[in-house]
Amino acid sequence: MSSFRLSRVPAIDTALKLVAAAVAMFAFVFVVMVPLYNVLCDALGINGKTSSQAYTAIPAAVDESREVTVQFVAINNDGMPWSFAPTTRVMRVHPGAANGVVFAAENPTDQNMVAQAIPSISPSRAAAYFHKTECFCFDQQVLAARDGAEMPLQFIVDQALPRDIHTITLSYTLFDVTDTVTDGLAAR
């Protein structure tokens, strides 16, 4: 009997190790899975995500030998009343060349609003080759009541873009983030 009593001590030791393992797995979700997913998204273009930083590398020579069609799509998320559209819907560009396009937005409401545009590229494997040197999606966009704005985008399609990709679609989904921003300010 006593041998059984004593055997509970190593059991507690085992249990503590397992508790540590469980805590580690909980932390794993936050400190490994989420960042790892974001890294993989950037690297593999999952969901057509593009970098949220401006591209600063110096463009190499322009590849005049081929043209790529770039399509622009503007989407309003739920509850977003702005009018939002690209002024040019399709462009043909040479890889390596710098290009610009403008999206027009207008806030028809009586409130000042803040919006965030989320880019997504299709096909997603093209995302890694689509470099934005300037984009309104890098920052939140503030529009006063009944105000409008022209929002610029500058981009370069990488010369290394696989040759079997002929069309790239870039979509922006506009989200209303007024509440989050205001709450954040109020909390401060």
Q: Is 37 in the site for other proteins (CB under 8 A)?
A: yes
For other proteins, the closer CB: 84 or 131: 84
Q: Is 133 in the site for other proteins (CB under 8 A)?
A: no
Count of CB atoms within 10 A of residue 117's CB? 24
8 Å CB contact between 54 and 151:
no
Binding mask 61-100 for other proteins (x = CB under 8 A): ----------x-x-xxxxxxx-------xx----------
Q: Is 21 in the site for other proteins (CB under 8 A)?
A: yes
What CA–CA distance (Å, rounded) separates 103 from 169?
15
* Prior bond of 95 cis (ω within 30°): no
Q: Is 56 in the site for other proteins (CB under 8 A)?
A: no
For other proteins, the closer CB: 59 or 118: 118
Q: Is 41 in the site for other proteins (CB under 8 A)?
A: yes
- Reduce the DSSP state of residue 118 to 3 states and report it: strand
Q: Is 44 in the site for other proteins (CB under 8 A)?
A: yes
> What residues contact 78, with CB distance under 8 A and at least 6 apart?
none
8 Å CB contact between 121 and 47:
no
Give the chain's count of helices (H) and strands (E): 4, 9
Interface residues with other proteins (CB under 8 A)? Answer: 1, 3-4, 7-8, 10-12, 14-15, 18-19, 21-23, 25-26, 28-30, 33-34, 37, 41, 44-49, 52, 71, 73, 75-81, 89-90, 108-110, 116, 118, 120-125, 146, 164-167, 169, 171, 173, 175-177, 179-180, 183-184
